Amino acid sequence: MSEYQYYEFQAVDRPLTAGEQQELRALSTRARITATSFVNSYEWGDFKGSPSRLVERMFDLHLYLSNWGSRRFFLRLPKKFVDRIWLNGVLSEVDCVETRIVGEHFVVEISRDELEVEDFDDGAGRLAALAPLRANILAGDLRMFYLLWLTGVEADAFPDDTPEPLPGVGPLDGALEAFAEFFQIDSDLVAAAAERNAQAAGGELQSSDIDSAIRALSEKERLGLLSRLYHGDLLVGVELRRRVRESVAERTRVEPPKARTVGELRARAGEIAAARERAAEAAVLAERERREAEAAEARKKRLAALAARGEAAWREVDTDIERRNATGYDRAKSLLADLRDVASSQGRMNEFEQRLGALRQKHARKAQFIDRLRSLSQS
């Protein structure tokens, strides 16, 4: 396979019309098209459409990857749910993301190229893993943008005294982990950022807090949300989650911890990397020691068995020598090395040396075997 490209689009807020599906079919006869998705891969040729335009017009999510290390993730969000001033401030120095307003939507395009590709990845399941990020953002969880900000930290786009945009990102959920892995964001920086709990940054809420916030809604608010849900408003759930989050934040408002700086995050990431390397080295050493212990035990058992064979082992040496080939000589040498160790452990080295000398005299004309005996004496 010389090249591979994977395209997947997903519509969340509304299904595609029949006309839109026909339009998509004109772009590809092979694609898998449904009322909410478009999926296709290319081993030769390229996609005829414009992913940016399709997201602007039809889709809320798009994922692309290639086997040469390019990856894309596009989101289309209702602009009324986006704090564009905050977002532009966070992402202003981040090269891998572009944002724009298109009608009532806010489009986010994330692109990274020249990423390392070790194993073939056909892209299947990738968008499903990332899709929860959109709903989380609309509900007020902005941690994905913190992870994007970290790519700017990687690229030295910020001075060391630049504060982090949120109190933290921990603990990471599956979608955030998938995002960091998909775009190969420095894992040590991510780990440093995740050491602080992200509840103040829009992380997970406790069930008791959620229940209290819902009970605090007025009767009018509850009826309004239920009426919109009945009439098919797909954003009701998002809006409810946002209201709950804001209500909980208001009731549990605490002084946020002092923001860490880029320099502090880098320093902590360095410590995490060093600890990881030490742990890896310790694991390698432990594995080597385990194997050496197993080998020593196996050798001990082998020598015990050899000692029990007595004269039969010396007869086997003669048999191997009489084969008069390299394989036989090597086997004889190996067996003699073991017999030497047995003799050493039993305090019978004089007897061993006498028998070895006798072998040397008996087979003096076998030059290749004698050469092996010399190396045995030196080992």
Give per-residue pLDDT as tens, 193-211. 999 987 544 446 678 878 8
pLDDT digits (tens, 9 = 90+) for 99-138: 999 999 999 999 999 999 988 899 999 999 999 999 999 9
User: How much is the pLDDT for 195?
Assistant: 95
> Is the confidence at residue 64, as pLDDT, over 50?
yes
> Is the confidence at residue 160, as pLDDT, over 90?
yes
Average pLDDT along the chain: 91
User: How much is the pLDDT for 201?
Assistant: 43
**pLDDT more than 70, % of the chain:** 95
> Is the confidence at residue 146, as pLDDT, over 70?
yes
- Reported as a pLDDT band with limits 50, 70 and 90, residue 9 is very high
End-to-end CA distance of the chain: 51
pLDDT digits (tens, 9 = 90+) for 207-252: 887 888 888 888 888 888 888 888 777 677 777 877 787 777 677 6
The rounded distance, in Å, linking the Cα atoms of 1 and 5 is 11
**Mean of the pLDDT values across residues 11-33?**
96
User: Which residues have CB under 8 Å from 209's CB, separation 6+?
Assistant: 244, 248, 251, 252
pLDDT digits (tens, 9 = 90+) for 295-317: 999 999 989 998 999 899 999 99
